[in-house]
Amino acid sequence: MPYVVDFVTVSTTGLESSPVAEALAGLRANEARYFRNKYDHEFTVGTAEEEADAVARVARVLKEERDIVIASPALEATRFEVDGIDWTYVFYESGLSVNLLWTIEDGGKRAVGFKLSDGMEVPEELAAFKFARQRSKLAGTIRGSYFVVKGEY
């Protein structure tokens, strides 16, 4: 059942099994606020099972681009198009959020972004990346990194 993420009243709904559920919920709410403010888009997620195609899409890009396999199980995911950009998000039990930004127009931006919830360690599979820090009222300290996607998916 799709869940509309509320960034005013942050909830751990769907994320309860994460050891950093509160921080992951804040990170998810932070993304919801971004999409509401920038695009007037309602950020909705489903379980990893309901959104299996989105989870598989992110897994494929990570594997083929950088030979990365996320060890943590996926809890939730979403895929949507807004303002000519196809977005895919996967939220993992470890507290990791991975997003795939794919500008639909040829020659546009295409990248994978990683965000680590406050309190989680950098996963071994992402140890090669440098993470920048940003503060969020909803999520505490978010550490993020990204890479540009070269292939066509």
Contact 43, 8 (CB under 8 A): no
Q: Which of 63-67, 102-106, 126-130 has the lowest mean pLDDT?
A: 102-106
Per-residue pLDDT for 1 more than 80?
no
pTM of the model: 0.95
The average confidence (pLDDT) of the chain is 95
Give the model confidence (pLDDT) of 85-94 as tens digits. 999 999 999 9
Q: State mean pLDDT over 36-42.
A: 96
| Residue of higher predicted confidence among 74 and 1 | 74
Query: Helix and strand tally (H, E) in the chain?
Result: 2, 8
pLDDT band at 10 (very low <50, low <70, confident <90, very high): very high
Q: State mean pLDDT over 17-30.
A: 96
Q: Given the structure tokens 């897994």, which residue do they identify?
A: 59
At 28 the pLDDT is 97
Q: State mean pLDDT over 25-32.
A: 96
Q: State mean pLDDT over 9-20.
A: 95
Task: Kindly give, in sequence order, each residue whose CB lies less than 8 Å from that of residue 101, ignoring residues fewer than 6 positions away.
Answer: 85, 86, 87, 109, 110, 111, 112, 113
Helices (H), 5-143: 21-39, 52-66
